[in-house]
Amino acid sequence: MPPRICVIIATFNGRQYLPELLSSLKNVDYPSDRWGLVVVDNASTDDTVAYLRQQYPTAHGIALNENTGFAAANNVGLRYAMGHDYAFAYLLNQDTVVTPPFLKEAVTVAGADPATAAVQSKLLRFKTGEINSWGNSIHFLGFGYAGGNRQPDQPLPVREITYPSGAALLLRLSALQEVGLLDDALFMYHEDLELGWRLWLAGYRCVLAPTSLVYHKYEFSRSVKKYYWMERNRLLVILTHYRLPTLLLILPASLLTDLGLIVQSVTGGFWREELAAHVAFLKPSTWVHVIGRRRRVQRLRKRTDREITSRFTGRIDFQEIPLSLPVRMANAVLGAYWGLVRSVMRW
């Protein structure tokens, strides 16, 4: 009998996306009694909840009183799934459109190995059909980016990935019961990177299901509003996930990169967000979180940093805008530095 799957959509003012998304979900090629839909709304003001109740009355809606962020809202859905005898949960962005076999193909890949805790569908751009993500990459300084972004669609094998995109992600709930849910403190950005890293650290696998296709209405935004969360969260993740010797080895590269980002933030007009991200680490509450989170994460460790970071990179690729000369130079320098670090890493 096919395992039960809870599809979770965290919404925030996503009314414009719902018609096509809900229509596509009605055509899913998976036994209707073996999957359910849960929508967790982050206090939308655009009638998202009312539209959902009208158009998809079989969905279980949970309306939150405030915008708790992507991570916390999905955790509400994950706790619901765990309390209602589901074997898997599938996190799905509000700005996606699914193909009929997306659930079946993803759960087939997950079922091939009980150590597979996370399965990402192949994400394609909605308008062009190009790759949006074939599995995401982790730069050793904590940056994450979508692998294959803007590349032509192509047949791919089932393969391990560094971390899965949270836009279209099947999760084994028994694994989450062991390692924990998404980190609420991240609010948005890097929550999928953090979870993927933590799953690898705990002995699980993250895998791409290339025939599970989901279209993503992805729009690149240079909004400075998101920069604070991206910069703060990448620092939180590396401080909680690396072993101390690794942190010491990457410190020179990290300081040099931070200096470059400060210069870039001044010239780019987002210096306030850059400053705020670093000022956050002057607050005792931030370090209380780092210390507590670090203890919990490190207790899960079944793999060494050397094993895990074999999947990491010293380059930033597949960007929305052409790589500038400074970025290309940084790729060369940091790539060489990372090679040296990896050569001496034995832990």
pLDDT tens track, the chain, 347 positions: 899 999 999 999 999 999 999 999 999 999 999 999 999 999 999 989 899 989 899 999 999 999 999 999 999 999 999 999 999 999 999 999 999 999 999 999 999 999 999 999 999 999 999 999 999 999 999 999 999 999 999 999 999 999 999 999 999 999 999 999 999 999 989 999 999 999 999 999 999 999 999 999 987 664 556 889 999 999 999 999 999 999 999 999 999 999 988 888 898 888 899 999 999 999 999 999 999 999 999 999 999 999 999 999 998 887 766 666 677 888 899 999 999 999 999 99
Helices of type H across 3-88:
18-25, 48-55, 70-82
Neighbours of 32 (CB within 10 A): 9
- Per-residue model confidence (pLDDT) at position 320: 63
- Per-residue model confidence (pLDDT) at position 317: 81
Residues 6+ apart with CB under 8 A from 222: none
- Per-residue model confidence (pLDDT) at position 123: 98
Catalogue the E-assigned strands of the chain: 5-11, 35-41, 60-63, 88-92, 96-98, 116-125, 131-133, 136-138, 144-146, 159-160, 168-172, 205-216
- Per-residue model confidence (pLDDT) at position 144: 94
Q: How far apart are CA 194 and CA 290, in angstroms?
A: 13
Q: What is the CA radius of gyration of the chain?
A: 20
Level-2 CATH architecture, domain 5-216? Alpha-Beta Complex (3.90)
Enter the tokens of residue 111.
Answer: 């079922």
Q: How far apart are CA 154 and CA 45, in angstroms?
A: 39
Burial of 143 (0-12, 13-18, 19+ CB in 10 A): middle
Q: How far apart are CA 228 and CA 8, in angstroms?
A: 26
Q: How far apart are CA 33 and CA 29, in angstroms?
A: 12
Q: How far apart are CA 148 and CA 156, in angstroms?
A: 11
- Per-residue model confidence (pLDDT) at position 226: 84
As beta bridge partners, residue 89 has 6, 171
Q: How far apart are CA 223 and CA 189, in angstroms?
A: 13
Q: Are strands 96-98 and 205-216 parallel, antiparallel or unpaired?
A: antiparallel
Residues 6+ apart with CB under 8 A from 52: 11, 18, 22, 39, 41, 59, 61
Q: How far apart are CA 176 and CA 185, in angstroms?
A: 17
Cα separation values, 309 from 27, 114, 139, 236, Å? 40, 22, 9, 17
Judge contact between 107 and 2, C-beta under 8 A: yes
Domain boundaries, the chain: 5-216, 224-344
